[in-house]
Amino acid sequence: MIIQKTENSKLPTFDPNNFSFGDTFIDHMIICEYENGKWGDVKLVPYGPLPFTPAMMGVNYGQACFEGMKAYKDENDDIFLFRPEKNFERINKSAKRLAIPEIPREAFIDGLNALVDIDREWIPKGEGMSLYIRPVVFATEEVLKARVSNKYMFAIVATPAKSYYSAPVSVKISDYYSRSANGGVGFAKAAGNYAASFYPTQLAIDEGYDQVIWTDDATHEYFEESGTMNVFVRINDTIYTPKTSEKILDGVTRDSFLQLAERNGIDVVVGDVKVADVVAALKDGSLKEAWGVGTAVVTTRFEAIGYGDEKFALPTLADEDSFAFILKKALVDIQTNHAEDPFGWRVKVDKKY
């Protein structure tokens, strides 16, 4: 790995008590370029712009996918990643579907560790604080031809993060738009998946909602995801969540919630979640709570769910009665080294550089 440290750190200007998520970037980034049928050297370089043109194939034909993950700092200033192998596996699953060459372990895992190690002082410490990490790969060949690119860049950038969607949100069940279809790329973290979701989400916002619950493209009778999150509903004392498929992202947080629910003795049903069943449970009061899970948010509880012209308020549960809260706390305690990790999910980043 080639290491080129910045001579002008921005860290002295960073206020961990006053920053916005997503637009404050740490001093360095990882880059690795693919050309002539192979990946080149992995480089850690100062964060900054790169020389591309509007004719870059990733911009024109959408060959781009990414991951989202976090690093955490505990009270002893030790740094931990959370299940990085899952993200490594998934970015290559996404890349394969988009005809992008497989990302080497040296670039993803070794690059990730080097970046977090060298910029460890950027990781804010405290409740809800973390470093949000974005590995991304995109086509860079400069040619306007609708085909597989011959050049790519893999990069890792990162931004300090604090609590996201701290307040409950209201969501609208989609009865027309879908985020994915059979045979498509719904299971991949393809950049285009997110672009296609923005317009329907804006329509929901215009109606007074915060997000969309996506339903299947064929009938709109089944839940799939909520916004950019996997979705869970609790009817009485059982949790229901859609099974993963070629249309639904296999979320790392989702998988962690399922294992934690089992460990906590909470009944979970993974399978088809019917819109009609959820609406009936909303009407008869048996739907106790619903929430989304994902890396950025961890958990976002829903305060209301809309369907058609109706909007249903959900019960307001005390934290100790909320499965969403119980599972989130169990997960965050593992991530931040406040609890034992019986699953082996937490990976310490050693000081090396």
| CATH number of residue 253's parent domain | 3.20.10.10
pLDDT digits (tens, 9 = 90+) for 190-234: 999 999 999 999 999 999 999 999 999 999 999 999 999 999 999
The predicted-structure confidence for 300-330, as pLDDT tens digits, reads as follows 999 999 999 999 999 999 999 999 999 999 9
Nearest C-alpha neighbor of 103 from the set 89, 121, 83: 89
CA distances from 252 to 50, 246, 317, 320, 324 (A): 30, 16, 26, 24, 16
Q: Are residues 210 and 232 in the same domain?
A: yes
Single residue among 161, 189, 216 that ends a domain in this structure: 161
| CA 227 from centroid of its chain's CA atoms | 11
- Is position 349 within any domain? no
Region of residue 183 (phi > 0: left; psi between -120 and 50: alpha; otherwise: beta): left
Last residue within a domain, chosen from 161, 183, 200: 161
The pLDDT value recorded for residue 20 is 87
> What's the pLDDT tens digit per position in 74-121?
999 999 999 999 999 999 999 999 999 999 999 999 999 999 999 999
Last residue of a domain, one of 143, 161, 179: 161
Give me the domain span that covers residue 213: 169-335
One domain, residues 255 and 226 = yes
Alpha-helix residue ranges (DSSP H) falling in the chain = 57-61, 84-97, 105, 111-118, 191-206, 252-263, 275-284, 323-335
Instruction: Report the domain count for the chain.
Output: 2
